[in-house]
Amino acid sequence: EVQVVESGGGLVQPGGSLKLSCAASGFTVSGSAMHWVRQASGKGLEWVGRMRSKANNYATGYAESVKGRFTISRDDSKNTAYLQMNSLKIEDTAVYYCTWGLGERYQWGQGTLVTVSS
């Protein structure tokens, strides 16, 4: 069964750091791009960033709102990607979803909640 599972969310103070994980199972991610998406409570979906496949040099791209603070990485041997979030702000509070390319579509996880609050 194809599945994507995010983990690592939680409560963090403003200015703090958190690292999210995104594990894929049921398929091999080595040829896939992956993206992170977030959704604040009651709001729409916002693209956070992406990392392309090894064949595309693991190229990354980020939304302006997180550039310089968030870093995406991946370990294809573990079928897992990561989102390192530094200098967190209150407005980063959201459910974070990861998605993996799978053919002509993307497979989404169920999300992990990040709350930035003092």
Partner 1 sequence: DIQMTQSPSTLSASVGDRVTITCRASQSISSWLAWYQQKPGKAPKLLIYKASSLESGVPSRFSGSGSGTEFTLTISSLQPDDFATYYCHHYNSYFYTFGQGTKLEIK
Nearer to partner 1, 48 or 88 (CB): 48
- Integer-rounded Cα Rg, in Å, for the chain is 14
Cα separations in angstroms, 48 against 32, 44, 63: 17, 13, 5
Cα separations in angstroms, 94 against 37, 40, 105, 108: 10, 4, 24, 16
CB 84, min distance to partner 1, A = 19
Nearer to partner 1, 14 or 40 (CB): 40
Nearer to partner 1, 14 or 31 (CB): 31
Which chain residues interact with partner 1 by CB under 8 A? Answer: 33, 35, 37, 44-47, 50, 52-53, 56, 61, 97, 101, 104-106, 108-111
